[in-house]
Structure 1
């Protein structure tokens, strides 16, 4: 090796032993001394590792892609940067003494390594396919489970809906029954009220009919019966107590008036007797068809005789003051067919006459 002197002249060569290793003196170096191969191997190994990881993760991701969101997987940047920095800091293999000859072998080995790496990648492919197949089977099982869960949920929801509908139907039946019962109760109350109103109406109608019939009967009786005198004043009533009467009480009804006032037959009858009768003075007894007797006493004059038939309103005598009297009047008595005396005023009112 020669060096130029500072003045431009050639400097004498240094005496030093030159080291030139040969293939015979140096055995092929492998392992950690193959820096160039290591550099390429590191790069290729990291690449293969990344591919394997991505393949494995991809195979697993395929199995769960149906049910889970995709997960992004990558190597940390610090690892990649550290590997690149380490590779850059190593010297070039061709600059090392005695290594240049080995580059060819390194390339061959690199090719072998590439082939191995390719084999790894090829080996990883079936694994990925296996993972993909397992993922498919898992996806199928997941879909089946999901379908069963959805079917069960649908069945439960349908059962719940049916229970709600059944409860609604039962409640509707209860409401309808309650409404029907309420309506029936209202109808019964209405019918009862209608019956009461009808009964009251019928009672009113019946009372009205009876009153009408009674009025007609009284009118008919009034047409067939007559008061014994038209103009009068009542001076004594039936049962009235007093010392003027021998029995201690009055036995008839006294109509006071003017002497000679006409007296009329109260009803069609037969003259049972007509003549003097002691305290009664001149007296006429009329016997009606049912056996009732009507006595006219204290008459001043008699116009009929015994056995004679008279009609309603016919004049049979005149008012007077004969017998045991205190003034001019008609003493009227009424006796039943059995002979008992009764109140003339009540008897006359029963015939439709007003006294």
Structure 2
């Protein structure tokens, strides 16, 4: 290539100028062309650098350059694809543009007197390996950190889900407890209301019955009760209720009905039998006198008087209540009719 105008082309210096240079015959080849030397403004040379064609040839051919007064240095150039496989395609892709840029850079280097070396344009293999190891380690660390973060997020989600489930279960149990308490309270209130209603109804019934029934006598004292045992009674136990009262005390019908029997009855003395509308029989015994001997009577009507006839130890009214031919407790029966005995 012809030299640009204004550039002085000189022959390369002789061996004496470089010291003693001894490249091998295989790695050295004749140096052709001329090198330019730029002089620094002010008369001083900026650089006496000369392109050592022999040095470049020795480096490219993996030769060894030696000098008598310097230690021997081995110069070798590794294969470019082995060092930079990832960037080789990019270097080839940019080769076209690099040629123009290289030409410009070469011209600038020639002007400044600086010769670019192979190590400036190619990365060190060890540094590339170290960089790759660091990148791989960083990638593994990032992956481990991402996995750890994912595990932490999953654990947090599970904990939150468990907490929400526990809260929901606790709320459900609390709601069930509240509902059960409310149901129990309502049942108790309903039961109390029912009992109150039943008690009220019973009171009303007894009040109504009290208007329909009356005590058999007044100014009395209860002596012998139903079921009392003793030899005084032929059955071995008392079959009625005794109202002790002075002789001549009025005896009244406990309810409306009809007189089915009136007269002497052995151990019972004078006796009146009153049959009520429901078929219940009431016996009045030991009477001193009888006011009625038949027909219908109403509640509270006087039917006789207290006496001491028959098998007695003193004046009293022996009252028996019979249903279906069997005796029942007169005291309980009178109370069931709303009467206070």
TM-score by length of 2: 0.61
- The aligned counterpart of 1:214 is 202
Count residues with an aligned counterpart: 244
Which residues in structure 2 correspond to 1:1-355 (within 5 Å)?
Answer: 118-119=49-50, 128-135=116-123, 153-306=141-294, 308-336=295-323, 338-355=324-341
Deviations 1:74-122 (A, max 9, x none): xxxxxxxxxxxxxxxxxxxxxxxxxxxxxxxxxxxxxxxx9x9632689
How far apart in 1 are the matches of 2:326 and 2:49?
Answer: 157
Deviations 1:303-325 (A, max 9, x none): 2231x222222222221222332
Contact (CA 8 Å) 2:288, 2:308: kept in 1 or not?
yes
Residue 217 of structure 2: SS of its match in structure 1?
A: coil
How far apart in 2 are the matches of 1:156 and 1:242?
Answer: 105
Deviations 1:229-286 (A, max 9, x none): 1210112112222333333332211111122211111111111122232322222111
Contact (CA 8 Å) 2:206, 2:337: kept in 1 or not?
yes
Structure showing greater radius of gyration is: 1
How far apart in 2 are the matches of 1:241 and 1:155?
Answer: 104
Q: CA deviation at 1:326?
A: 2.0
Q: CA deviation at 1:331?
A: 0.9
Structure 2 portions without partners, runs of 5+: 1-15, 20-44, 57-108
Deviations 1:181-207 (A, max 9, x none): 222223333333333333333333333
Contact (CA 8 Å) 2:252, 2:303: kept in 1 or not?
yes
Cα gap change, 1:118 to 1:326, in 2 (>3 Å): closer
TM-score by length of 1: 0.59
Greater fraction of residues in strand: 2
Cα gap change, 1:134 to 1:252, in 2 (>3 Å): same
Q: CA deviation at 1:132?
A: 1.9
Deviations 1:16-37 (A, max 9, x none): xxxxxxxxxxxxxxxxxxxxxx
Greater fraction of residues in helix: 1
Q: CA deviation at 1:170?
A: 1.0
Q: CA deviation at 1:144?
A: 8.0
Cα gap change, 1:303 to 1:132, in 2 (>3 Å): same
- The aligned counterpart of 2:91 is none
- The aligned counterpart of 1:107 is none
Residue 174 of structure 1: SS of its match in structure 2?
A: helix
How far apart in 2 are the matches of 1:246 and 1:138?
Answer: 135
